Structure 1
């Protein structure tokens, strides 16, 4: 990873393109971005009006959501009767719009506190069972995550590898060039020379015995050995210059200023680069006994009492007595307690998602369990697979499966059946070459695939339901390399997989070398700093093409306070090939044979979404609408705050922040301290999630990035 972001004219153009892209995306998605349910949701029946208040999620497993919701039933001219309903639903998630749709609603139980008339309760239960399945309820993903983060137990941890990579520290502007093992060259017809294929960077050689040339940010560097010392090439051969001019023109590159050229650091083993701008300088982290390296974009800390350094890499913590190492892995539960005390809104709060017990960490863990779903068209969906020669298969340990080793695609063999996962969709065929049709089920042993296998990520692509026309599929962030490990999330499995090298070179999923860092705004982002020009970058192995690079999963989280780096989307990566591809993080957007959005949402479905205001509510219900009184949410809009506890008792929060409980047909001060505490905690988590979603929505209404116009930009 590189400490400094060189702001060039090319980058400024890309900034403008990025803003335009955001605005166009906003226009195309705005109607969808604003279709979050307005609560309460009113259902008119011949017997009266049913009002469903915002559901409180209780558990989420395998795309099935259990929730409890406060409800009221009101006949004409009568006072409303309040109660609670336990619901079960399948969900459809759209990460583009941050909307989760509760479908196929089932009523598990109903309770009306203080109503002893069993017959009426059964009648109301029957009415709800008839009416609720007719409707889809929409909740925001951010509110769902915030509440589930408190209610849902942690997911099972993957047996990942946490051994430290080679950690290199530099005090000057540097760039890590990774080569997957010893350099391997092949002829490149488009360039008319040989190229080192097992690196994401452009490393070429005009003829055998001639120097090697590395292209970085519109400049050439030369070396007699790809793993040796690289120096700036002032006058490279004409053939090399010609290739550079073509690449620069194609990518609209403006060369890096000569006084900003980085030192090239090469590694043939998994490695990460840390650096500072000169001699390390430290500043205190408010409210803690920690210091952070203030002249570095990396997350480097020192604990004052022990004089030990801590660094966060790919979501994993490492510890050393020296910046030169050696480094040891630190389980997140063993971090000094001061890390959890880092205040939100300060410069290094981005690491809180990797600190157990913090709201940011809990939300990140829950987000890693929520799938992006899609409807796969059974008639249209297909794929193709290309092998380097005849198909070759190797066993997947601990399973009855085999996987194809000489292809960029993920092909599995189970008995006489073959499966392919392509951009989040399962396919099946009778031969390793197809033809391929959308699969109605997954291989039986897919959940047994261990992290040590290069096809591990496909276990996170699921088949949920099948109809004659479509198959409901989805993938969780594990497919794109984000894994739950205990109380936090990490990037990559930590394993170094053997690539395929024949007449073609196929890299495998990587954990190290790309400076992967998690940010509550942007999710996982690549940390390269300088523009690397022609960068062999794609959407990653298993996502088509077999190119280098992680797919960069990006859930658009936004915190509920003006952060020191400013509000709105923060561009972490200035490698232009990645800026647009994964803006939403939805791989399905790049398929034409799936549907991830309800195209009718602005029509019939939207018409069912209640836009009720206080004026449309009965007097009793009007009293339940209060303004959020949260230190982080000054000026929050009025939202109904009627909730049910785990036992089905109904509460409302008034304007002063006090809680009342529904008893019979009256609201009385809540006397149970435990219930008040439970209700307040639920309320605060809901407000946190609501603010996350408000910031997400507003970012599309006002599409302006937080870009610096000069100097260097921090990789947060």
Structure 2
């Protein structure tokens, strides 16, 4: 067995195997005895030291019932003991115990038990003996499945006590001409244009227009803009223009516009912070903010959570520093699961929510691709293809394109919709690849193509390739005992005649929801149009985020941010709804991939009290091209900038 200590596989959506009582009981009664076969996929299993001298492992696998061609993909966890082997170089494994199995399908307890039987047989065959060097390396490693090399440097955290919107420009404004009179600022996610004749700037968001004489400050609300600006929007941002009327309901309060050109997050309270104590703890939380903001009454320190990382300061206005998970106040773990702030439990070590997120992070999403598939996509470059060495590897990557293209051994590799392709030219045509280029697993986190290491070729036959991904591809990583979003590095985009964006970690208030995955928190006073303009998105350039198939998301629940109480415009009363007593059930059949891009939730849902049941049937293959990754992770190599 080849054991590799590496990066844990990470996911965005929670899809466990615990059956709902109704479904499980019905299936338990009606399902006949079946025998299953299992196969550990050829992505190397991962190991760590367990308790009481045991070794824990996890791996992706595929299983099917004997006599059936339907394959189910998932991840399993096991632990075992070890002793003297047949030689001085190996250990003998013994007392295997399968501790957990998670699939993207729901099975009965009987079926899970039958799969476990097949696993025990497979373990005895594959892992009867393990090289001593692998065990010794495991025991000496402090890395328990954690993604190596992530950046924990705190972003700039801005505090304001009035309605505000944070607008991110990736460095100094980069202008691209639209016509002789107007230019767009292409390194921002909002509609922002410059009138070159008058040196006036215009910006649209949340049903409101703003104008300024400087792109970086001085933005003020304006009730009207010249017709020429509307014409520019209609021609160059058609989707946004068509949705203007739908956004008018948001135009209730005029926020202060805060422009940042560096990684930043915003804490905006509606007036002075209003602290609410959490029962049976020495912990309070601020209720009049959309941020996750707490205060430890033992130390009077503030704690806030952004992109799965905790930051702390003695005061709101400055001094924020990263806090490691094991240094958090113990009372955070005492937040009740049905509390309004229970969403943060996923980022608190030792909680069930954190454990589930880490385990769910390892579920593979796999599809079969015909081995003869040729991608009819031509990769475009800004000039001649320009490739730059990736540190620590023999790989080079293209910097002047929006597509993730690698070069290795005079062969070019492209990742498109979580599938590896290769070609003899940097333009294509692109044939489905039967293996990844060597060294992909060593791409460092400070490289903007870090996420492609989480796209795998699991196995091949003479007819099909099994390819898939885990949510590291979409920007979600295990870091110690919890999951985080983004690598924490700021990858400056590449620009010459055009601007190519890279993943970002901060600027969008990402939080983890077990049904939505990582979700951005839009400003309550400036949202919806955010991230739409120029087809620019927070993860991976101008492509929209890629999500696994959605099963059943909970109903959209209004968060605090939907009920502003002060500002320039009068507000309509919007009450904060109560917390649902039970979570919604997932459907009995799994839907196909939507043919159109689903919208992101505009507000943060509260945590459901119970986990929904899972679907019975498997999905059909998506009929349309799915949308791609989701976020953009502090400073990248200098050669990326021009």
- TM class by smaller structure: 0.5 to 0.7
The answer to whether the 8 Å contact 1:169/1:275 transfers is yes
Alignment of 1:220 with 2:209, yes or no, is yes
Distance in 1 (alpha carbons) for counterparts of 2:244 and 2:580: 29
**Relative to 1, partners in 2 of residues 1:564 and 1:693: Cα closer, same or farther, differing over 3 Å?**
closer
Structure 2 residue aligned with 1:201? 190
Aligned to 2:329: 336
Distance 2:414 2:276 in 1: 51
1:378 corresponding residue in structure 2:
371
**Could you tell me which residue of structure 2 aligns to residue 692 of structure 1?**
611
Instruction: Say which structure is richer in helix.
Output: 1
Computing the radius of gyration from Cα coordinates, the structure with the larger value is 1
1:453 maps to which of 444, 447, 450:
447
Q: Does 1:39 align with 2:28?
A: yes
Q: Is the 8 A contact 1:95 1:555 kept in 2?
A: no
Corresponding residue to 2:503 among 482, 501, 509 = 509
* Contact 2:504–2:539 (8 Å) recurs in 1: no
Q: Report if the CA contact (8 A) 2:583-2:611 is conserved.
A: no
Q: Conserved in 2, the CA contact under 8 Å of 1:525 and 1:553?
A: no
- Tell me the equivalent position of 2:228: 239
Matches for 1:564-583 after TM superposition, within 5 Å: 564-565=579-580, 567-568=582-583, 580=598
Give the whole-Å Cα distance in 2 for the aligned partners of 1:96 and 1:405: 42
**By how many angstroms is 1:248 displaced?**
3.8
> Corresponding residue for 2:407?
413
Q: In structure 1, the residue corresponding to 2:203 is in which secondary structure?
A: strand
Mapping 1:552-567, distance limit 5 Å: 564-565=579-580, 567=582
- 2:58 maps to 1:60: yes
Q: Verify the 8 A CA contact 1:154 1:365 in the aligned structure 2.
A: no
TM-score, normalised to structure 1, is 0.60
Conserved? CA contact 1:514–1:549, under 8 Å: no
Q: How far apart, CA to CA, are the structure 2 residues paired with 1:238 and 1:320?
A: 47
| Equivalent residue number for residue 477 of structure 2 | 483
Match of 2:394 in 1: 400
Match of 2:178 in 1: 188
Residue 179 of structure 1 aligns with which residue? 169
Cα shift at 1:551: 4.7
What is the CA-CA distance between 1:582 and the residue it aligns to? 6.9
Residue 349 of structure 1: which of 342, 349, 363 is its match?
Answer: 342
The equivalent residue for 2:154 is: 164
Q: Per the alignment, do residues 281 and 557 of structure 1 end up closer, same or farther by CA in structure 2, a change over 3 Å counting?
A: farther
Q: How does 1:617-636 map to 2 (within 5 A)?
A: none
Per the alignment, residue 284 of structure 2 pairs with 291
What's the TM-score, normalizing by structure 2? 0.67
User: What CA distance in whole angstroms lies between the structure 1 residues aligned with 2:493 and 2:293?
Assistant: 32
**Residue number among 262, 265, 270 corresponding to 1:269 in the alignment:** 262
Counterparts of 1:555 and 1:354, CA distance in 2: 23
Change (3 A) 1:437 1:692: same
Aligned residues: 485
* Greater shift in the superposed pair: 229-238 or 274-283: 229-238
Matches of 2:597 and 2:327, distance apart in 1: 36
Shift of 1:103: 8.7
> Which residue among 290, 297, 301 is the counterpart of 2:294?
301
Which of 293, 309, 314 does residue 307 from structure 2 map onto?
314
Q: 1:568–1:162: structure 2 CA closer, same or farther, 3 Å change rule?
A: same
Per the TM alignment, residue 372 of structure 1 is displaced from its structure 2 partner at its CA by 1.0
Per-residue deviation, 1:345: 0.2
Shift of 1:533: 2.9
Describe the SS at the equivalent of 1:362.
helix
What is the distance in 2 between the residues matched to 1:206 and 1:362?
Answer: 52
> CA offset at residue 95 of structure 1?
7.7
Contact 2:102 2:363 in 1 (8 A): no
Name the structure 1 match of 2:533: 536
Stretches of structure 1 lacking an aligned partner (at least 5 in a row): 1-32, 53-57, 69-84, 111-124, 126-152, 571-576, 584-632, 634-687, 699-716
Change (3 A) 1:300 1:452: same
Aligned to 1:594: none
Distance apart, 1:156 and its partner CA: 3.1
* Inter-CA distance 291–264: structure 2 relative to 1 (3 Å threshold): same
- 1:159 Cα deviation from its structure 2 partner: 1.6
Give 1:155 deviation, angstroms.
1.9
Shift in alpha-carbon separation, 1:199–1:109, aligned structure 2, 3 A: closer
Distance 1:541 1:409 in 2: 15
Alignment partners' CA distance in 2, 1:566 and 1:474 = 36
8 Å contact from structure 2 (residues 219, 257) kept in 1: yes
Find out whether 1:438 has 2:456 as its counterpart.
no
Partner SS state of residue 398, structure 1: coil
Q: CA deviation at 1:504?
A: 1.4
2 CA distance for matches of 1:420 and 1:43? Answer: 45
Shift of 1:443: 1.1
Q: 1:293 to 1:485 in 2, by over 3 A?
A: same
| SS in structure 1 at match of 2:336 | coil
1:578 is displaced (CA, Å) by 10
- How far apart in 1 are the matches of 2:372 and 2:249? 50
SS of structure 2 residue aligned to 1:490: strand
Residue 470, structure 1, aligned to residue 459, structure 2: no
| Aligned-partner SS, 2:28 | coil
Structure 1 residue 435, shift from structure 2 partner: 1.5
- DSSP 3-state at the match of 2:311: strand
Change (3 A) 1:334 1:254: closer
Alignment-derived partner of residue 620 in structure 1: none
Q: Contact 2:186 / 2:534 at 8 angstroms: preserved in 1?
A: no
Alignment partners' CA distance in 2, 1:36 and 1:178: 51
Q: Distance in 1 between matches of 2:291 and 2:596?
A: 20
Q: Does the C-alpha gap of structure 1 residues 170 and 466 become closer, same or farther in structure 2, counting only changes over 3 Å?
A: same
